Amino acid sequence: MKPRTTAASLVGCFLMLVLASAGAPAPAVAQDIQVNTADPSSAPQGTVNLNVTIKGKGFKRGASARFFVTTTTNPGGVTVRSTSFVSPSQLVANIDVALDATTASFDIEVENADGRTGKGTELFAVTTAGTAAFEIPVAVMFRDGSTDRITSDGQGAYSHGTDKVRAVLVANGNFFLMTNDSSKPAVRRLFLDFTDPVSSGSPPFGTGTQQGYLSTSCENSGGLRDMAVDTSQLCNMSVHFSVPGTNTQWAIRFGAYSDTTPATVHRIDVESWEIEVPEPAVGKLLSAPTKGRLVFTDQGNFHMPVMLSVTVLN
């Protein structure tokens, strides 16, 4: 015998369907990535280690940023060294702009770890080098000794424009060496030896030859360039590098902290300087992730004597 269908039961079923429909969650929709602004929105050729704040929406941890000449997939000489996640609406991209970077507008593309991407057009621009970028090509020679712990790779002087090396006095007169120009494959490297910690304990890694860049920051505003011949001054010095196969970047800094040793710079003549981190030659080793928030962690102090000479190229 079939159950009787009454008007009341039909009305009840109808109300249940309406209520169920009203309370049902909407289908999940993947959040779009939007890339809206970049700050700063431009940089001259030759700019290094520049933090660019990217704002938009839909960013996730592990997101990466890329810069392309507008409407192309050509990076145009802009290298993104790292991308740091700040919030779903903000990232920080640390970039280098090659000396020969394309002077044009750039699009910025952000890709989350799940493969979703978003792009903002004409958010950044590379401008002509002018006086804000590098201006004096130099050659750098490490004066390797038995006690040195930052030394050359044994291939002679690091000369600007040779073997993809970038070695210069920048506009403020400070010295800069990069052993791998732009995004090109590494040719030259530095030898780093962290086997002599200041206090007891084991270094985070042993010896190794790494691609890296080295820079100075001096007491006077003119840096090395404005020093009188046969005078000396103290300068902070940093060496930045990354270990292949890891998601970590490193820096060894001299003189930037009270428990480290600054470098002594002596101007020999109008075209040459000698730079030495003298005894006790203590540098602070710091590490930071290459993805996520850019926070440096103190990894301890190490004895790191180093001697080098800088010569203007004719």
pLDDT at 16: 45
Q: Distance between the two ends of the chain, CA-based, in angstroms?
A: 108
State phi, psi for 77 to the nearest 5 degrees.
Answer: 95, 5
CA distances from 91 to 51, 55, 110, 261 (A): 10, 7, 9, 34
C-alpha to C-alpha distance for 168 and 160, rounded to whole angstroms: 7
**Number of alpha helices (DSSP H) and beta strands (DSSP E) in the chain:** 1, 23
The pLDDT of residue 47 is 79
Region at 161 (left for phi over 0; alpha for psi -120 to 50; beta for the rest): left
Predicted confidence at residue 204, as pLDDT, reads 77
Given this model, what pLDDT does residue 184 score? Answer: 57
How far is it, in rounded angstroms, from Cα 167 to Cα 177?
4
What pTM value is reported for the model? 0.65
Task: Please tell me the predicted confidence (pLDDT) of residue 130.
Answer: 53
Q: What is the pLDDT of residue 10?
A: 46
- pLDDT, tens digit, 9 for 90 and up, residues 261-281: 999 999 999 999 999 999 999
Question: Where does 245-303 show beta strands of DSSP type E?
Answer: 248-254, 263-269, 272-277, 282-289, 297-303
Mark the ranges of the chain whose per-residue pLDDT is less than 50: 1-3, 5, 7-8, 10-29, 131-132
